[in-house]
Amino acid sequence: MNIGKAISKMLPENKLKESLRSLYYTFESYGIYPSLSWYIEHFLNNIYTREYNLQKGDIAVDTGACFGMDTLFFSRKVGDIGKVISIEPNEDNLKYVKRNVRLHKLKNVIVIPKGLWSKRDKMKFYCHYAPEGHSLFDWRNNKEIKKVTEIEVDTLDNILRELGIDKVAFIKRDSEGAEIEALKGMEETLRNNDVKLAIASYHKINGQPTYKTIIPMMEKIGFKSYFENGISYFEK
């Protein structure tokens, strides 16, 4: 039995199962077979939205969108009156994000082909053999790096301002080590919104995992924090 059928038997018939089935066959049609651990993390454990249930009409930001699996999930949750800003800098990954948006007819998704940073710039980008491993940091010390390219980076504040968006409910961040600099580029967004965040923060920069830096950063500006299984959760 393949992964799709195994997971299908575990879930009752509902909208979540419908979205999961649709996403699986989208990936399968392009020769992509997500692992069982991926399904468990994203659809059974809800690792990013476990501390905040997205509502209809919310604006959510998916940074480090990879293939767009969280973008698709967020899009279903926020509905037609909501919006998802899907940010992904890698050209290969972007193809899948855009295909998912098109094939699932997602009218509430805006795709941004950039990386998030503390300023607008162009930077080296380390492309990993695994699509989810690309990073602005060579935090693996050249292990499993396929190639190095150059990408555009910008702040979240700049991106949202240019889109005319001033209200954000939720930010998911999985940037393979760039989370500290990215947070520096969203000061306005954090200050002006009652926003919830879920940030993958187990990557080691300068010898220590990034959560040891970002948790004090966020608490200093009035956010409460919670850390579990490599994810830092924040709310005011």
Q: What is the pLDDT of residues 180-220, one digit of tens each?
A: 999 999 999 999 999 999 998 887 777 788 899 999 999 99
In this prediction, residue 25 carries a pLDDT of 47
Residue type, 92: D
- The verdict on 107 and 159 lying in the same domain is yes
Nearest CA-CA partner of 32 in 72, 121, 92, 87: 92
- The verdict on 10 and 88 lying in the same domain is no
Q: What is the pLDDT of residues 27-84, one digit of tens each?
A: 544 444 454 445 545 555 567 877 788 999 999 999 988 888 889 889 999 999 999 9
- The verdict on 124 and 174 lying in the same domain is yes
- The verdict on 186 and 227 lying in the same domain is yes
Contact 140, 176 (CB under 8 A): no
If one counts the domains in the chain, the total is 2
- The residue with tokens 């990879």 is 66
- The verdict on 130 and 186 lying in the same domain is yes
- The verdict on 36 and 66 lying in the same domain is no
Q: What is the CATH number of the domain that holds 105?
A: 3.40.50.150
- The verdict on 140 and 30 lying in the same domain is no
Most confident of the ranges 10-19, 22-31, 87-96, 184-193: 184-193
Sequence-separated (6 or more) residues with CB below 8 Å from residue 196: 51, 52, 169, 170, 171, 233, 234, 235
Q: Are strands 224-228 and 204-205 parallel, antiparallel or unpaired?
A: unpaired
CB atoms within 10 A of CB 21: 15
- The verdict on 32 and 117 lying in the same domain is no
Handedness of CA 15, 18, 22, 24 (dihedral sign): positive
| Chain mean pLDDT for the chain | 82
**Of 24 and 166, which is predicted with more confidence?**
166
Give this prediction's pTM.
0.80
Domain boundaries, position 85: 52-235
pLDDT at 7 over 60: no
Q: How many residues does the chain have?
A: 236
Provide the 8-state DSSP code for 226. Answer: E
- The verdict on 132 and 33 lying in the same domain is no
- The verdict on 92 and 31 lying in the same domain is no
Beta-sheet strands, E only, within 17-108: 59-63, 83-87
d(CA 204, CA 189): 26
> What does the pLDDT average to over 94-107?
89
Strand partners, 85: 61, 110
- The verdict on 105 and 201 lying in the same domain is yes
CB atoms within 10 A of CB 71: 28
- The verdict on 63 and 155 lying in the same domain is yes
